[in-house]
């Protein structure tokens, strides 16, 4: 079982991904914008992050850059 974050602003896409991962017995968190996604990433250790590129607030690229700047890998 993995802890997975889904950062996706389209609720239908987020639901499909979340439902599929939950069906595989993973722990899934969902954020609907870049700011919320970054907050999750900086607070929780995730095994996998599914990250949309075009997000409101911060883009997927901005999230990756800020995470790396904070020392994340």
Backbone angles phi, psi at 61, to 5 degrees: -65, -40
Q: What is the pLDDT of residues 20-68, one digit of tens each?
A: 999 999 999 999 999 999 999 999 999 999 999 999 999 999 999 999 9
Q: Which CATH architecture has domain 3-69?
A: 3-Layer(aba) Sandwich (3.40)
Task: Give long-range contacts, CB 8 A cutoff, 24+ apart: 10-15.
Answer: 10/52, 13/52
pLDDT band at 15 (very low <50, low <70, confident <90, very high): very high
Banded pLDDT at 71 (limits 50, 70, 90): confident
Is 67 in contact with 60 (CB distance < 8 Å)?
no
Boundaries of every domain in the chain: 3-69
pTM above 0.75, yes or no: yes
């Amino acid at each position: 079982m993995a802890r997975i974050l889904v950062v996706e602003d389209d609720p239908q896409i987020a639901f499909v991904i979340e439902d599929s991962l939950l069906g595989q017995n993973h722990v899934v968190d969902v954020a609907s914008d870049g700011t919320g996604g970054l907050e999750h990433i900086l607070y929780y250790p995730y095994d996998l992050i599914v990250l949309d590129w075009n997000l409101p607030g911060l883009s997927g690229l901005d999230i990756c850059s800020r995470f790396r700047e904070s020392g994340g890998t």
